[in-house]
Amino acid sequence: MRTLLLLTAAALLIGAAPAKKLPTPNDIVASAPASAWKAIPPDDLMVIDLRSGGRVVVQLAPDFAPVHVANIKALARGRHWDGATVYRVQDNYVAQWGLNDSGKPWPKDVVAKPPAEYTRPLNGLRITPLGSPDPYAPGAGFADGWPVAYSTKAGWANLAHCYASVGVGRDLSPDTGTGGELYAVIGHGPRQLDRNIALVGRVVDGIDRFSTLPRGTEALGFYKDKAQYVPIASIRIASDMQAGERPSYEYMDTASASFARYLELRANRHDDFYIRPAGGVDLCNVQVPVRKRP
């Protein structure tokens, strides 16, 4: 009984002790060669320190939303976010932060009306196809570490809204937001937002600092009282931090053989726990491996 229930709990997840021939997805991650990993440039890491002490690290995606990402760097470097808070947390949807209606002028390098970087040309991306149907686009897969949807025929690609994706709050179209107000997905991937809003990256560490925040009780998850706002101590770009205190991460190259195998095993789970491999997987359930560098 003792053992049984421990296993009951333990077996519920991926990493449960496998005494098996076929590797698990985690085995692939653990054994992937150094060549299967790509370092995230420190200039593409945004480090958000909460006043409570928690840290959230975001990988920015300049190849998908260059103007918005440049804005975000200018906002961080211009200390625009001094006094920023998390002011909206909606269950199974998003946590949102920034200055929320402060009226503060933008730092000078900020483009006030960025273009609608909701898609980019498919051309130039090396796509590893998902291999399963996607309800939101003709194609889905991975490009340079990112989950993407695309149309070969129309020639566009977009970052997909998955758990921990980071996007730009905006007003009604044609406004696209500057990047001053950002959100992170803390629930089931709201793919309906794909191609309707600019995604600029993903949380690679500390998403639980957002996902565990109390939900706001006002419409759309806004906090009712400003006293509930969660203060942010600083938002920095890692390349601006002292070399010794910079966090550093790497992601699995989605064009690598390791990733191809990982993807195959995520779609066909053979861990001891599973009795019926699905034979398919949805884009947001693949979860491109990202880890801290030593």
Q: Which stretch binds a second copy (CB under 8 A): 36-44, 62-70, 84-92, 254-262?
A: 84-92
User: According to the binding rule CB under 8 A, does residue 177 interact with a second copy?
Assistant: yes
Residue of 93, 202, 194, 188 whose CA lies nearest to 136: 194
Q: In this chain, which stretch among 40-48, 71-79, 120-128, 131-139 interacts with a second copy, using CB under 8 A? A: 131-139
Please select the residue that binds a second copy; options are 88, 120, 202, 236, rule is CB under 8 A: 88
34 binds a second copy (CB under 8 A): no
Q: Does 188 bind a second copy (CB under 8 A)?
A: yes
Q: What is the distance between the alpha carbons of residues 162 and 282, in angstroms, rounded to a whole number?
A: 10
**Which residue, among 73, 26, 7, 24, has the nearest Cα to 46 in the 3D structure?**
73
Residue 30: strand pairing partners: none
Q: Does 53 bind a second copy (CB under 8 A)?
A: no
Out of 48, 164, 230, 288, point to the residue binding a second copy (CB under 8 A).
164
User: Which residue lies nearer to a second copy by CB, 102 or 244?
Assistant: 102
Q: What are the DSSP calls for 95-160, one per residue?
A: EEEE-SS--PPPPTT--SS---TT-EESTT--EEE-SS--SSSSEEEEETTEEEEEETTTTEEEE-
Q: What would the x/- binding string for a second copy be over residues 250 to 269, using CB under 8 A?
A: ----------------xx-x
Residues 34, 101, 225, 294: which binds a second copy (CB under 8 A)?
101
CA 163 – CA 190 distance, rounded (Å): 8
